[in-house]
Amino acid sequence: MSDLLLLAADTAANAPNLKVWAYVGFIGLVVLFLALDLGVFHREAHEVSMKEAVSWSVVWLTCGIAFSGFVYKAYEEHWLGLGLDTPRYNTHELAGQVPEQPIIISGEVQGLEAAKQYLVGYVVEKSLAMDNIFVIALIFSFFAVPAKYQHRVLFWGIIGALVMRGAMIGLGAGLILKYQWILIIFGGFLIFTALKMAIIKGNDDPSQNVAVRLAKRFLPMVEFYDGQRFFTRRTVKPTYSRDPATGKEVQDPPPAGTLSARRAMTPLFLALILVEITDLVFAVDSIPAIFAITPDPFIVFTSNIFAILGLRALYFCLAALIAKFRFLKPALILILAFVGVKLLLLSVPPYLDVIGMAPQKPIKIDTTVSLVVVLATLAIATVLSIVLPAKATEGSEEGPRAH
């Protein structure tokens, strides 16, 4: 009995260490989702219909929003130590003029605040993913990726994104907890990104990407697709015939003597490389944006992952329509600028002594206000895009170009 009491006391004292199991459980859930997606629902390559894409978008959106309920309960009841000894931005402790207090402290976070932080992060990440969709549409158009193979590229792109973002979130969380002045860099970078998006037009030609040029130069490559394979030993383009038994189109065996001894990459692999690079570029913007909401790694990680899990279904829903939402990009610019300003208001005042001014209290914009601002900005952009549609000539210039 005394051993059980000692174990219980030790568990309570080390509650923060139990948070590892919260991450393990969440990653296990994500792996289960992905296994069902690829191994059951998309085992055979097929063109994703609008009905299927909308259905999956609803499923992912429901899962993402429903997870906020878990966050509320877990932080309210402190399951696995969630909400205890948790990094959070200093608020009521700074009611007095105490600028020397740290920007980030560890303390208790209640369920309602955690759920609101999760929802703001989820909505911000989801909205920033819209611009990502347009770039992916350009990539698929350039490489003329058949519609039935696009899901495979996006699936493995998401796998890479999960790994990259997990590593970047872990690195970012560690840095801001140790060097809180880095928040100023994050905030400034978001403002810079918003200005760049507003002023500078990006290069729409994927062939000019450095990674693509290096891959073509140093790796063997074929110019044709070999089904949904990323690498092939074929040296001639495959042919297809219809199976009389099933009525399905099947790939014919390669002609004798046409198989190479070594594998070469197909255009599908080049498309995957660019999709991964695209997500990396957007992650550099979006991860500082979520850190403007909360420094809690669990909230940052889960909201980010749930937002990109639905990216594939969202792509198939919006790829053909995204260019018609003419006010979406200005809305994304405003959201980035808002979270950048939010982060600077929080991080700059305590360091004003660096430029010879008296340190001040951080200014924290309430999480509810952030949620309202982000949702209202997206809603207004959507309504304006419907009420004031782009002209036909303007829309054709903004849409993905076939190469």
pTM reported for the whole predicted model:
0.83
Domain boundaries along the sequence of the chain: 21-198+280-398
pLDDT in tens, 330-386: 988 999 899 999 999 989 988 888 888 888 888 888 899 998 999 999 899 989 988
Interatomic CA distance for residues 289 and 303, integer angstroms: 12
pLDDT computed for residue 53 by the predictor: 86
Q: Tell me the one-letter amino acid at 261.
A: A
Write the DSSP assignment of 125-147 as a string of letters: HHHHHHHHHHHHHHHHHHTT--H
Interatomic CA distance for residues 106 and 86, integer angstroms: 5
Contact 149, 364 (CB under 8 A): no
Closest C-alpha among 132, 126, 111, 123 to residue 296: 111
pLDDT in tens, 197-221: 888 765 556 666 777 788 888 889 9
What are the pLDDT tens digits along the chain (403 aa)? 344 333 333 444 445 578 999 999 999 999 998 888 776 666 777 788 888 888 888 999 999 999 999 999 999 999 999 999 999 998 655 444 455 668 888 999 999 999 999 999 999 988 887 778 878 888 898 888 998 899 889 989 888 888 898 999 999 998 998 898 999 999 999 999 889 888 876 555 666 677 778 888 888 999 999 999 999 999 999 998 988 888 888 889 999 889 998 999 999 999 999 999 888 888 887 889 989 999 999 999 999 999 988 888 888 887 766 667 888 889 889 998 999 999 999 899 888 888 888 888 888 888 999 989 999 998 999 899 889 887 754 444 444 343 3
DSSP category for residue 79: G
97, two tokens: 């003029």
pLDDT in tens, 278-294: 888 888 878 899 899 99
**Percentage of the chain exceeding pLDDT 70:** 86
CA distances from 163 to 10, 33, 42, 152, 276 (A): 33, 16, 22, 17, 11
Interatomic CA distance for residues 84 and 319, integer angstroms: 42
DSSP category for residue 221: B
